[in-house]
Amino acid sequence: MDKFTKLTGIAAPMPLVNIDTDMIIPKQFLKTIKRSGLGVNLFDEMRYNTDGSEIADFVLNQPAYRDAQIIVAGDNFGCGSSREHAPWALLDFGIRCVISTSFADIFYNNCFKNGILPIVLPQEEVDKLMDDAERGANAVISVDLESQTITGPDGGTISFEIDPFRKHCLLNGLDDIGLTMEKVGSIDAFEETAAQARPWV
């Protein structure tokens, strides 16, 4: 998993509430177990017409936001089914941070396991960032995980809270497998001791 330390990028405004995981990545794209290749179908039914052409007024189809790395979203982002494909699709598109007033619990946890930083802020601060994000190509926001701050295009700073353990994992690029591999010395020692104590196993 890639480390998350500091991210400076275009923020796309998505003020809709209750953006669920089926909107993020529709069910017909869940056949794969690969984490790559899903970005093209991110928000598929919102991005494309039935003939495959782009819906011009969808935010990620607008020239200013095609390379967005941050989403500023409405309340309850990631609700619905528990599909981990949702953060996979966001990450494959290039989204590394989502800012909202609240997230569905499973989606929120899955973000951390995939190198995406979900930030919870009060409504008034999300409103400020939403206003910043609506500036198009000038909607550049910097997110510094170490200092737990967000800096807007005018230099204003907002602080955010994050669980220290999750912060540690993101800063060091540790998913569940990475955390396990940090203990490989202890695991090997246990296995060697167990093999000597029970050679018949």
Sheet holding 140-144, edge to edge: 117-120, 97-100, 70-73, 6-14, 140-144, 149-151, 157-159
189 pLDDT exceeds 80? no
190: pLDDT confidence band, cut at 50, 70 and 90?
A: confident
Give the model's pLDDT for residue 36. 85
- 57 touches 111 (CB < 8 A): no
Mean pLDDT of 78-107: 96
- Over the stretch 9-23, which tens digit does the pLDDT of each residue have? 999 999 999 999 999
The residue type at 107: F
Q: What residues pair up with 143 in beta bridges, in sequence order?
A: 7, 150
What are the structure tokens assigned to 86, written together?
A: 């949702």
Taking all residues of the chain, what is their mean pLDDT, rounded to a whole number?
92
Query: What pLDDT, on a 0 to 100 scale, did the predictor assign at position 175?
Result: 75
Yes or no: say if 162 and 120 are a contact pair by the CB < 8 Å rule: no
* CB neighbour burial string for 83-108, b if at least 16 within 10 angstroms, e if fewer: bbbbbbbbbbbbbbbbbbbbbbebbb
Please tell me whether residue 103 adopts helix, strand or coil conformation.
Answer: strand
Q: What pLDDT is recorded for position 125?
A: 98
- Dump pLDDT digits (tens) for 122-153: 999 999 999 999 998 889 999 999 999 999 99
Q: Taking Cα atoms as reference points, which of 137, 126, 113, 5 lies closest to residue 71? A: 126
Q: Answer whether 128's CB lies under 8 Å from 120's CB.
A: no
Query: Is the per-residue pLDDT at 75 higher than 80?
Result: yes
For residue 185, the model assigns a pLDDT of 73
Band (158; pLDDT cuts 50, 70, 90): very high
pLDDT at residue 187 tops 90: no
Q: Structural domains in the chain?
A: 6-197 (3.20.19.10)
Cα–Cα distance measured from residue 117 to residue 82, given in angstroms and rounded to the nearest whole number? 18
Per-residue model confidence as pLDDT tens digits over 165-185 = 999 999 999 976 666 666 667
Tell which wins on pLDDT, 99 or 201: 99
Please answer whether residues 172 and 164 qualify as being in contact, where contact means their C-beta atoms are separated by less than 8 angstroms.
no
